[in-house]
Amino acid sequence: MRYAEETPPVFTLTAGPVDAYPEVLQTMGRTVLYDYDPAFQAFYESVALKAQKAMDTPEPPLILQGEPVLGLEAAAASLIAKDDVVLNLASGVYGKGFGYWAARYAKRVEEIEVAYDDCIDPETVRTYLKDHPEIAVVSVCHHDTPSGTLNDIDAIGAIVADAEALMIVDAVSSFGGMPGGPGSCKAGIYVSGPNKCMGCPPGLTLAAVSEAAWAKIDANPDAPTASILAMKDWRYAWKRTNPFPFTPSVAEINGLDAALDRYLREGPEAVWARHALTAAACRAGILALGLKLWPAREEIASATCTAVKMPDGVDAGPVIAEARARYGVMLSAGRGVTAGKLIRIGHMGPTAQPIYALAAVAAVGGAMTALGHDVDLAAGMAAVTARIDADG
């Protein structure tokens, strides 16, 4: 049998957007309250406080009304002043992309760039900052999703803080799926969204802003206000007695509430553990198929996305299409320079369950076999269950 392109897949094992948690979708269908209804104002405050708990921040993170690209662009617009020199760290498509936003607002953007299967060495950042004391802002992507690779943002953040610069972190596809948060990496602005590991549909940004970053934003005459990019306007909007800069996305906030409840009830450690085990089982299966991981070293492979390198001469596109048509399993392609070269299996939120690794490895291995590529499907599947079982 074949699954038609027009029919939804059986499993969405993508690197985001993810298949949302059922309770999130149910909650989004709740009554859409008027934003100045006192019941909504009280509810919004309670959601902001739950987000604060989840992100473990001294004040509630901003909830901006657009998927996290809005938050990233707003962070650049708000924090970076005209006379700032920014150091952008690029180890993948998203890290590189942030530099283009930064360049719109900064006097100058410097860059440390490494191969997109590798990560930034914190020591090179230390040396760079020592040699360039004029750098005011450092930007980095935690998990560069199109590569499935991680940067050590806690180590980089400590170095940036020592140099008295402020760090903007893109933690869109890592927050909620692995240890760490705005505090442990000493972020100035830490941008995430509920549409990856929190299991919501795309539509909101969560952004934690430190005290020092607020001071810099307040001192930046060009920080936007009365704009969709304005972080400033939302700082105190979480208080039920304060006005909203504009109408919040009520249904999305309803969904976020359910996602936060779920995350806090299950417990962050337990959530991170199932992401880690799913990814470990997936990597074991991929390696046993006889394929290679895209990340240069397994230590930098993400717990929320496994990037599988295609053998030389094999285009990822037909393999992804075959996996969907043959098994109804939707996987992600690469992006930019990784397009065609790899397949990404997402383990985010609802799909961070070890058994999904079996479906993913079966789909990749089966599709490759069908297309005439040499993989050991049985070994791959056995390795997945062995890795799950080894966890006890």
Which residues in this chain contact ligand PLP in the complex, by CB under 6 A?
16, 67-69, 94, 141, 143, 145, 170, 172-173, 196
Q: Cα separation of 357 and 346, whole Å?
A: 9
Q: Is 143 helix (H, G, I), strand (E, B) or coil?
A: strand
Nearer to ligand PLP, 153 or 383 (CB): 153
Nearer to ligand PLP, 139 or 145 (CB): 145
Tokens of 177: 């799926």
Q: Cα separation of 370 and 372, whole Å?
A: 5
Q: Is 93 helix (H, G, I), strand (E, B) or coil?
A: helix
Q: Cα separation of 100 and 76, whole Å?
A: 10
Q: Is the CB of residue 95 less than 8 Å from the CB of residue 144?
A: yes
Nearer to ligand PLP, 16 or 366 (CB): 16
Q: How far is the CB of 145 from ligand PLP (least distance, A)?
A: 3
Q: How far is the CB of 89 from ligand PLP (least distance, A)?
A: 13
What phi, psi does 244 have (nearest 5°)? Answer: -90, 145
Nearer to ligand PLP, 194 or 380 (CB): 194
Distance of CA 144 to the CA centre of its chain: 8
Nearer to ligand PLP, 173 or 338 (CB): 173
Nearer to ligand PLP, 66 or 380 (CB): 66
Q: How far is the CB of 170 from ligand PLP (least distance, A)?
A: 5
Q: Is the CB of residue 90 less than 8 Å from the CB of residue 111?
A: yes
Q: Cα separation of 110 and 120, whole Å?
A: 14
Nearer to ligand PLP, 51 or 197 (CB): 197
Count CB neighbours of 46 within 10 A: 14
Q: How far is the CB of 293 from ligand PLP (least distance, A)?
A: 18
Strand partners, 170: 141, 191
> CB burial class (10 A; 0-12, 13-18, 19+) of residue 136?
buried
Q: How far is the CB of 191 from ligand PLP (least distance, A)?
A: 8
Nearer to ligand PLP, 171 or 281 (CB): 171
Q: How far is the CB of 67 from ligand PLP (least distance, A)?
A: 5
Nearer to ligand PLP, 60 or 95 (CB): 95
3-state secondary structure 258-303: HHHHHHHHHCHHHHHHHHHHHHHHHHHHHHHHCCEECCCCHHHECC
Q: How far is the CB of 246 from ligand PLP (least distance, A)?
A: 21
First to last CA, the chain: 36
Q: How far is the CB of 141 from ligand PLP (least distance, A)?
A: 5
Which residues contact residue 78 at a Cβ distance below 8 angstroms, ignoring those fewer than 6 apart? 189, 217, 220, 223, 224, 229, 230, 231, 232
Q: How far is the CB of 391 from ligand PLP (least distance, A)?
A: 26
For 76, the enclosing helix (H) or strand (E) is helix 69-79
Nearer to ligand PLP, 81 or 191 (CB): 191
Q: In this structure, which amino acid lies at residue 53?
A: K
Q: How far is the CB of 74 from ligand PLP (least distance, A)?
A: 13
